[in-house]
Chains A and B, each alone.
Chain A
């Protein structure tokens, strides 16, 4: 392995934790918990109707909706996970922030948000109900609710593990304190509270981690010094180039080809995640008007493309300046740290009392924003897509708010159960990401075809979604049982696991598209009157020619494209 060149042993762990906090650090963490609870208590008075509780009154500005949209995705698992991946794979990990943000987020803002917004649905399963009918609605609603709870539980468990490793905190203490705090503020203020705290958490994450890239670049001697140090340690140029090493599967540490990154990641997975995951779409739907809803994902795209500054750069700096090598999770312990600890290690390297508390608060904030996002989305989907259509069709508005509040509590209880379930079956964590990916690629095809092709029929949508999902599960299972199938799915014997994820997504997306189109051509489409505000051709897009150019979403989307192109050129 390339990293063995600097295989010096890490210093022994001091006790069983990485970091010791001073009283000032603990004070910063306590103030954070008081603030998020205070915001929940304050916002309770505004969350009286179902529109307030589930959609934040649809009165958020583009900035608030956009930052919340991104923050719901910017969990601490993401921060620490991608910093770790950067340590392993180098700057290739930045593809998951750059090509994963453009063009998908611009497409969502320009093409899809007008349809989501005009359909007046409360959720993505709700849109599928209107466009494709009951079967697709039930399938997506129930699977989304289950996935949300499991992901929330896994987040909770992961946070407890990190707090144990980093700070030596008791796992049960971390799970209960964080989950009860999130439950309290989401149940009190609903989506208002979730969005407010997500924007707050976005700021905390930035100010908490920013010390690492600033001081790290000073220590490394700027970008030139950083590249020289990495080259000295790994004896390779592959760690600091985005595209030039992707001509072959064997030419880069990730074992992927540029077609997989461009089509699989930038095309299918990014589109699938951003345009169909209700967890993030719900934030844009809460915008005060259509223009704000369209701008929200575009604003998020700018910040998404800047996140590598606090995630990818610390990973690269860890590779360059840490005086010992990090190892895979299974080899950690006995004085060796794992890749996953690179971000806390870098925080501990540069931050003294006070700043360290801020950095740890940033990680806690990241975990809590991810959990709150899952809970608010769960409460909405449960109330609107399961409780109202199947259990209580004639309830009052106030009754649905009460159900939403209790759903939040129920969601936390189920999440805590899921967290303890995961502690018993840790391999489930590995499978969960794959499980979620089973649905994303085909769902992306189903939703986009439904929006752009008025000829798509309810049967076409349902069978396409089912065929794509089954194909994805089948490919995953084949590789699990016989690893040689990886070379067939990813089109190369040199392909690694990451390539399998990317190419599996492409194949399942294609299968979904083909089945949807073929079945639709042989079945009866919905009449045009039933497709108003559900497909692009029948959705009135307000003209913006009277707006100044800088207020038009298309202007800012072009800016995202330029920003993206510049980054690709610099780090090619």
Chain B
């Protein structure tokens, strides 16, 4: 059985890519969000890709024998 951590990794990585792409596309757009000048989506997207990527890689099917 695939470990639950693998599914979590895949989902977070996909979300990271979507959020990062949105952050890049909207980088110079004005937005109503408070503190948008900190570009939280940019940081959030990168962090999700790193976190999701780590879980996906570490728990990739066949890489570890048990959860």
Note all chain A residues with C-beta closer than 8 A to B1: 43, 46
Is A354 in contact with B11, judged by CB distance below 8 angstroms?
no
CB < 8 Å neighbour of A42 from B2, B33, B38 = B2
Q: Which of A135-143, A154-162, A195-203 lies at the interface?
A: A195-203
Cβ contacts A51-80/B at 8 Å (1 or 0 each):
000000000010010000000000000000
Question: What's the Cα separation between A562 and B26 when bound, in Å?
Answer: 45
- With an 8 A cutoff between CB atoms, is B28 at the interface? no
Interface of B is mostly: helix
Q: Which of A24-32, A111-119, A270-278, A492-500 lies at the interface?
A: A24-32
- With an 8 A cutoff between CB atoms, is A352 at the interface? yes
Is A218 in contact with B38, judged by CB distance below 8 angstroms?
yes
Note all chain B residues with C-beta closer than 8 A to A354: 18-19, 22-23, 41, 44-45
- With an 8 A cutoff between CB atoms, is A307 at the interface? no
- With an 8 A cutoff between CB atoms, is A358 at the interface? yes
Note all chain B residues with C-beta closer than 8 A to A358: 15, 19, 44
- With an 8 A cutoff between CB atoms, is B14 at the interface? yes
Interface residues of B in 31-61 (CB under 8 A from A): 31, 33-36, 38, 40-41, 44-45, 48, 51
- With an 8 A cutoff between CB atoms, is A568 at the interface? no
How many interface residues does chain B have, given as a range? 20 to 34
Is A203 in contact with B18, judged by CB distance below 8 angstroms?
no
Note all chain B residues with C-beta closer than 8 A to A200: 4, 7-8, 11
Note all chain A residues with C-beta closer than 8 A to B48: 207
Interface residues of B in 7-27 (CB under 8 A from A): 7-8, 10-12, 14-15, 18-19, 21-23, 26
Question: What's the Cα separation between A219 and B38 when bound, in Å?
Answer: 11
Give B39 Cβ to nearest chain A Cβ, in Å. Answer: 9
Is A39 in contact with B7, judged by CB distance below 8 angstroms?
yes
Please judge, given known A-B contacts A211-B40, A219-B34, whether A203 and B22 are in contact too, CB under 8 Å.
Answer: no
Note all chain A residues with C-beta closer than 8 A to B19: 24, 28, 354-355, 358
CB < 8 Å neighbour of B14 from A31, A203, A214 = A31
Please judge, given known A-B contacts A27-B18, A31-B15, A61-B67, whether A352 and B8 are in contact too, CB under 8 Å.
Answer: no
Note all chain B residues with C-beta closer than 8 A to A211: 40, 44
Is B35 in contact with A203, judged by CB distance below 8 angstroms?
no
Note all chain B residues with C-beta closer than 8 A to A351: 33, 40-41
- With an 8 A cutoff between CB atoms, is A231 at the interface? no
Cβ contacts A396-408/B at 8 Å (1 or 0 each):
0000000000000
Is A35 in contact with B7, judged by CB distance below 8 angstroms?
yes
Note all chain B residues with C-beta closer than 8 A to A357: 18
CB < 8 Å neighbour of B35 from A24, A61, A350 = A350
Is B18 in contact with A352, judged by CB distance below 8 angstroms?
no
Question: What's the Cα separation between A207 and B45 when bound, in Å?
Answer: 11
- With an 8 A cutoff between CB atoms, is A455 at the interface? no
| Chain B interface residues (CB < 8 Å from chain A) | 1-2, 4, 7-8, 10-12, 14-15, 18-19, 21-23, 26, 31, 33-36, 38, 40-41, 44-45, 48, 51, 67
Chain A to chain B contacts (Cβ below 8 Å), 29 pairs: A24-B19, A28-B18, A28-B19, A31-B15, A35-B10, A35-B11, A39-B7, A42-B2, A43-B1, A195-B4, A200-B7, A200-B8, A203-B8, A211-B44, A214-B40, A215-B35, A215-B40, A350-B33, A351-B33, A351-B40, A352-B22, A352-B23, A352-B33, A353-B41, A354-B22, A355-B19, A357-B18, A358-B15, A358-B19
Task: Give 5 nearest A-B pairs by CB, closest first.
Answer: A354-B19, A354-B22, A352-B33, A196-B4, A24-B22
